[in-house]
Amino acid sequence: MANSKQLPHTTTEWTGYTLDELRYVRAYTAARMELNRERVISRIDGMRKKGFKPGAPKGLIGKVVGAFGYLDIVLIAWRAGRKLFRVTRAIKGK
């Protein structure tokens, strides 16, 4: 490969990185991580402002479910499950 980059630690005359090179790489990495963190935070803020709810479709059902809180959904499911259990028990004759 004529275009492949020769790594410095594979050559015999390489004595290691200087302190300035290490500081530069460390500062560059910290700046890159900070930019990524800011990008993620801004995307999350944008989703919050638009009312994004993960898992909720944007149709009619999604709007209805989105109007309820998680506790409301749990209570409705509990009541519906209890009634369904009673109906199935009555059908079986127990």
pLDDT tens digits along 10-24: 777 878 888 999 999
| Selected residue with higher pLDDT from 74 and 32 | 32
Res 40 pLDDT > 80 = yes
Interacting residues of 14 by C-beta distance below 8 A, sequence separation 6+: 8
Residue where the block lists tokens 């499950």: 81
- The answer to whether the predicted template modeling score (pTM) of the entire model surpasses 0.95 is no
Question: Is the separation of the CB atoms in 49 and 40 below 8 Å?
Answer: no
CA distance 71 to 68: 8
* Residue 6: its H or E element: none
